[in-house]
Amino acid sequence: MAGPLSAQEQLRNQSASAILAGEFDADQVLLPYQRRWIADTSQLKIAEKSRRTGLTWAEAAEASLSGSMSPEAGGTDTFYVGTTKDMAREFIDACAMWAKAYNLAASAIGEEALEDDDKDILVYVINFASGFKIKALSSNPSNLRVCRVTSSLTKRHSRKTSLPC
């Protein structure tokens, strides 16, 4: 008889197959609204959000899955913009946890410096064997100027400086 499952095995058994198959049970790791969020394949997803409800955690699960897939299977890069550097780090840590739980071929968390005119901007990165990446940084408007990508913000920014469009 096998011993008790590790936390990693429990996560893999309880949620990876459900997310990948699009079939969810009440006993899964993710809450119903988190499962609905991941299952939603809309180009634009909008949710009313508050702190510590787990929506970002669900987004990290989805980012890890899509980063690991081939382009033909719908794989993609994810670019996360958090309100602070700490939130960006929390998101990338959650992505790494999901990648490990799903046993996905992914690098450890790395750091890249994007060069701006007057400073380097820290970006946290996970590289997948598929060639896709998850990148996370803070939403300081000056940081976003150098990113040259389409991104989405998770909340209204309080600074008066305009964000690039």
Domain ranges in the chain are: 7-144
Give the chain as a 3 state SS string. CCCCCCHHHHHHHHHHHHHHHCCCCCCCCCCHHHHHHHHCCCCCCCCCCCCCCCHHHHHHHHHHHHHHCCCCCCCCCEEEEECCHHHHHHHHHHHHHHHHHCCCCECCCEEEEEECCCCEEEEEEEEECCCCEEEEEECCHHHHCCCCCCCCCCCCCCCCCCCCC
> pLDDT truncated to tens, each residue of the chain (165 aa)?
556 755 545 554 555 555 555 554 545 678 888 888 888 888 888 888 787 788 998 999 999 988 988 888 888 999 998 888 888 999 999 999 888 877 777 778 888 877 767 777 889 999 999 999 999 988 765 555 545 443 444 444 444 444 443
